Structure 1
């Protein structure tokens, strides 16, 4: 593979991933893509990758390169760091080839760009070359804002919002979308367990999805997730809460101690217990079950799981469990002499309150 201007080319990191398209900014002509669309980014004359989430940016870049190489197998690719740019280089990299073949120029670290780059690229973006795809990677901040504004105003520009997925439901949807692309089915509870096991690292979540698709058959269940990621799931406060709400006192105690051994703070486990019980109480209070998801603003799968749990809970038992967790919450926040003991006592109380 040859590169323009003698610049060293590099191979992009492999990736996977998915959810949440965002609207274009007011006054912007750029088409804005979200996390659900990073696997299908068109090779526009200008592709702007904004935000700190590296996995989404890597996936978007891989998508652009794949589509370009389908059209031009001998694609010329130039990689450059904006901070080390020298005046006039952009004109060399984007000048048409002898046969006007497609080329791609990937500029990393636009947020740290030298003034010479800002000047040259701003002028270039007023009339980008139709035979070159210019990919600009900007991780955030106010530096090089002129470049962002010019890129968003460029004709046929595409912006990919590479922002972290902060809400749990966004990450669950990310996992389920990865499974849909792989043409595999996965239980919502399994997706949630995987998110609890691996946290916010989208690259790790995507790799785990690939592993589960390779190592399992049929619908991927929560048990499959536990089999391959059990040690990490056990350190989750949400898993402690699940065991306690399901009435498994011994299992919940074992998980509490494992969580403590792996550095999970008692206050986080109490918060997970409180969240789980609060969901049960909110769903139980809805008079028309068919409207629960809309009325409560909750994902339908969360409502369905709460309904299944509520078959084994009486109002009195739920009230006892909520009081026990409230006492533990006060204790782990400094109101008691032994936070670990208070937490274990609350876990047992929740498990025993089930079916009362």
Structure 2
């Protein structure tokens, strides 16, 4: 069966995850250039489509009858250009490959709804949910000709963070040394030695587990090596929210995969939450979350010494862990 041409079509890429949006654009442009290597390619931000520029772009040139036009930042399309862009998106002419990129949100909703109603092809570029990050990492590893299980993927996330660009860059570094190999958590930790041990999530893990001394040591090391204080409060808030949701749902009969989805964590993390739940009550989690919110304000400017504020927070979390439900 012959592949359908991407010319004479429109593509809407919608979502706030820039890396995924850029990849979708690259894929579409590559398809178009394979069809017609001589096609004229133009990428333009929507606010720049003034004074009839869009009409000039889609009209091609004397030297290229095939045209690829990528319009980014669609939410900020000028009103006077809206009618022509919309008409073209709904009825692209045969020599045009049109790609529209919308960063999400409600701005330009009427235009987006019209495209959806007309069944214009759409690719979502939404942020990857926290519990799906290990799946994203393992998929990226396969793309780079490496094997990786969910535990090793989570070790990488703990070392690097949840930003997709940082994760893909880290995987590219690993691929340079471990292509066609099966990555283990030990290999990841060794490769990122020093970085994984001071990650904000490592501080949060020790704090919630009652390891106050190691948590304080890792906090000081993290701050000394440039970890932003706000990342520590963010990690603590994320871990406490997950624990709180688990405490609410643990009595509900459901498979671990479904429970993990409800809590917002990878399935294997349920075992860790189960262990933590033996020493935490919903009351204690509530107290700790309020303390994290207060400290978050402090490290964002209210405190003269963010490091001291974070040290005090870890002590409060330790005390909250001992609180029993009333």
Give the TM-score taking structure 2 as reference length: 0.69
Select the residue among 308, 311, 314 that pairs with 1:343. Answer: 314
Aligned partner (choices 23, 29, 41) of residue 77 of structure 1:
41
Moved more, 47-56 or 244-253: 244-253
Q: For 1:12-23, list aligned pairs within 5 A.
A: none
- Deviations along 1:184-220, whole A, 9 cap, x unmatched? 2213222223223333422222221222222225222
Counterpart position of 2:172: 210
**Residues 1-356 of structure 1 aligned to structure 2 (within 5 Å):** 43=6, 45-95=9-59, 102-154=66-118, 157-165=120-128, 167-216=129-178, 218-242=181-205, 251-261=214-224, 262-264=227-229, 271=237, 274=240, 291-294=255-258, 297=262, 299-303=266-270, 318-319=278-279, 329=288, 332=291, 340=311, 343=314
Distance 1:271 1:86 in 2: 45
Q: SS at the partner of 2:192?
A: helix
Moved more, 243-252 or 205-214: 243-252
CA distances 1:122-159 after superposition (whole Å, capped 9, x unpaired): 2323421122111122224554445424433446x222
Gaps of 5+ in 2: 296-307, 322-326
Structure 1 partner of 2:298: none
What residue in structure 1 maps to residue 302 of structure 2? none
Number of equivalenced pairs: 296
How far apart are residue 58 of structure 1 and its match?
0.9
1:322/1:339 Cα in 2 relative to 1: closer, same or farther (>3 Å)? farther
- Bigger shift: 136-145 or 274-283? 274-283
Shift of 1:46: 0.6
SS of the residue aligned with 2:99? strand
Separation of aligned partners in 1, 2:163 and 2:289 = 32
**Cα pair distance change 1:303/1:111, threshold 3 Å:** closer
1:260 Cα deviation after fit: 4.9
SS at match of 2:91: coil
Q: Deviations over 1:314-338 (max 9, x none)?
A: x9xx43x779x76993995689x98
Q: Structure 1 pair 108/273, CA: closer, same or farther in 2 (3 Å)?
A: closer
Give the CA deviation at 1:107: 1.7
| Conserved 8 A contact 2:42-2:70 | yes
* Counterpart contact for 1:240–1:252, Cα < 8 Å: yes
Match of 1:300, SS? coil
Tell me the distance in 2 between the aligned counterparts of 1:306 and 1:116: 54
The residue matched to 1:152 in structure 2 has which SS? helix
Preserved contact between residue 111 and residue 139 of structure 1 (Cα < 8 Å): yes
Q: Is the 8 A contact 1:50 1:137 kept in 2?
A: yes
* Separation in 2, partners of 1:208, 1:331: 34
How far 1:268 sits from its partner (Å)? 5.3
CA 245–80 in structure 1, closer or farther in 2 if over 3 Å, else same: closer
Instruction: Provide the residue aligned with 2:300 in structure 1.
Output: none
Residues in 1 aligned to 2:208 and 2:45: alpha-carbon distance in whole angstroms? 52
d(CA) in 2 for partners of 1:331, 1:250:
22
Superposed CA RMSD in Å reads: 4.4
